[in-house]
Chain A
């Protein structure tokens, strides 16, 4: 049977109906949890739950077998039944027109030889039925365009454009939790479990053609076929930015011992080289991976390395300049005409160089005016803005203190919050107008998530970095990818 993976993945992520095989009345069982999560997160399609006894689950009737599902009403089968029964379920579901199955059940290749045999048979069966199977032994999938949370664990992220595929379910959860925290959302997420029939690359290839996804975010450990992996990653990375986090990088494989070259070429360096060669963003840590994906999903690519750091007060700018020195970015000297323009906008005590320390500003319009002048200058490729939210942070203490709303506090708190919102709005609008990345960093992103600046960031859909160092690392990666594309005559990819 000819299989069209893209169609199958469409059935997986955007099914018209879902069959949950093995729905359980016991709230501790996966067969309960997945049904609970699907209903709670608002899946809009039809849900058919099967249960041997036909008992109600979560107040809903169940079917005693898949045979009772109307033909063509479901596209996806979610399986969390014991491994021995699953072949039968696949066959029954295929007869009803189901084209994709997620197998959460364990007891396959990860267990023992018998499990491996069962897994091989399941793949063979799925292939013959023209059915996609993801898993087994995976935690599930999420698809925000369909409000689908078909998972045996909780995180359900906000809607967005990051597509996640992982060899470990834990990382899907971590990335989605980070997405929930900052508001930069996810389109699709899937943990491939044992990757019996398809793996992270198959999902990634679907993402590359998916209008809901603009960035691929991968977690990989084992790579079964390195050459194929490299070729397929390279093909996807031409069309869509891909961020990869690889686990197990410290273990080093054995190579031809006679050569010095062989002894220098560690596994990690080879993987690193592959990423650099094919324009794949390799992140070193979980947070860096998410930072990069969130940046690629929300910021335009810079056309060069010339970075301006704009800060309301000094210290942050200095440390950020230090961080920039260890990257491929350039803390560019301010062009004379820009410096003259800023002289007209800022008090005489301003830094008069990059980092642009606004020294507290002058009027209520100073920060927006400076931001616009800097981002709009043709010799600046990217901007990092520091110090937003401090006014609202003070406002928050005042609002919650014993004197509010008297003594003029109500008015000043509203002013502070309005100002912080203006800074964010200006940053977002100049970034769009001049097609340049404008990254914003403040620890208030996590320390004071209700801060007006942080809320404004969240509402704008942009990413608020919890620290300037992290913004620098992500911008460095963004610039490296942009220049990789430039050197190969490829257009920049827009978020």
Chain B
């Protein structure tokens, strides 16, 4: 049996390994949400967060691009109201809104045959259709991580793209190493999703995280 961690718990678990996340705040009321958003700076993203909530987008539990405190408070109220009893204890997460053209997916999954693996792929809503994905077995070295990046079919996405700089390959390799290190240090992990792993100013940043434990 596996269970999922909340987004906030997932990030808390992964951040010490060096997975880059946004500065974000977790609050339990809509008033606090508004204050937190003011401190982070607009625009922000507001999400409902709870241990039993795995796929927020599908349930409409992510509100993007909020530009005022009033909007944030309203969105937070709406999210708290959307919580279902089976979601358990819920909170609202406020994060800066990242705009990025390029999205990747990075993750870890325990393969039934080969054990823990690290994955890098082209992300976004078409990820599964495009299926440009590279996998290695845990543990990986820095050389392995660079080879993963070099093995992606969509190399054009790693070069300078639509006015944005080239992807910082070292920073991206470090994300993959962080996933490998997390898997080694935490054998109860069943899977990790960093989806999307956005490229902001050329640097990867994990906008969402989902950790699944055995």
> Residues of A with Cβ closer than 8 Å to B?
223, 226-227, 229-230, 253-256, 258-265, 267, 269-274, 276-277, 484, 487-488
Contact = CB atoms under 8 A, between A and B. Distances in A.
B111 A255 contact: yes
Contacts of A262: 109, 191
Interface of B: 2, 4, 54, 105, 107-115, 117, 119, 121, 127-128, 131, 133-137, 140, 143-144, 147, 151, 190-193, 195, 210, 212
Contacts of A229: 114
Nearest to B55: A258
A259 B107 contact: yes
12 contacts: A226-B111, A226-B114, A227-B113, A255-B112, A256-B212, A260-B128, A261-B107, A265-B133, A267-B113, A272-B135, A273-B137, A276-B147
A259 B128 contact: no
Contacts of A263: 128
Contacts of B113: 223, 226-227, 253, 267, 270
Contacts of A267: 111, 113
A262 B105 CA distance: 12
A269 B191 contact: no
A264 B115 contact: no
B47 to A, nearest CB: 17
A338 B14 CA distance: 54
A484 B136 CA distance: 14
Contacts of B135: 265, 269-270, 272-273
Contacts of A276: 136, 147, 151
Given A230-B137, A255-B109, A256-B2, A261 B190 contact: no
B111 A258 contact: no
A187 B123 CA distance: 47
Contact of A264 (B105, B147, B210): B105
Given A226-B111, A259-B192, A273 B212 contact: no
B110 A264 contact: no
Contacts of B121: 264
A254 B2 CA distance: 14
Nearest to B210: A259
A256 B131 CA distance: 18
Contact of A261 (B109, B131, B137, B151): B109
Nearest to A487: B143
A261 B136 contact: no
Most buried by A among B113, B151, B191, B193: B113
A255 B2 CA distance: 12
Nearest to A328: B150
A256 B110 contact: yes
Contacts of B119: 261, 264-265
Which 8 residue pairs are nearest across A and B when measured between Cβ atoms?
A261-B107, A226-B113, A273-B135, A226-B114, A259-B191, A262-B109, A261-B109, A277-B136
Contacts of A253: 111-113
Contacts of A488: 143
Given A262-B109, A264-B133, A270-B113, A277 B128 contact: no
A481 B192 CA distance: 30
Most buried by A among B54, B107, B137, B140: B137
Contacts of B107: 259-261, 264
B105 A261 contact: yes
Given A261-B119, A263-B128, A265-B135, 19 more contacts: A226-B115, A227-B113, A227-B114, A227-B115, A230-B137, A253-B112, A256-B110, A256-B190, A258-B2, A260-B105, A261-B105, A261-B108, A262-B109, A265-B117, A267-B111, A267-B113, A270-B117, A276-B136, A487-B147
A199 B107 CA distance: 33
Contacts of B133: 264-265, 269
A277 B110 CA distance: 17
Nearest to A225: B113
Contacts of A259: 107, 109, 190-193, 210, 212
A258 B109 contact: no
Contacts of B137: 230, 270, 273-274, 277
B191 A258 contact: yes
Most buried by B among A226, A254, A264, A277: A264
Nearest to A272: B135
Given A255-B111, A256-B2, A261 B147 contact: no
Most buried by B among A229, A258, A263, A274: A258
A115 to B, nearest CB: 25
B151 A265 contact: no
A95 B119 CA distance: 54
A270 B114 contact: yes
A267 B111 CA distance: 8
Contacts of A277: 136-137, 140, 144, 147
Nearest to A264: B133
Most buried by B among A261, A272, A484: A261
Most buried by B among A259, A265, A487: A259
Contacts of A484: 147
A263 B119 CA distance: 11
Given A230-B137, A261-B193, A277-B136, A270 B151 contact: no
Contacts of A255: 109, 111-112, 191
B29 to A, nearest CB: 29
A260 B127 contact: yes
Most buried by A among B135, B151, B195: B135
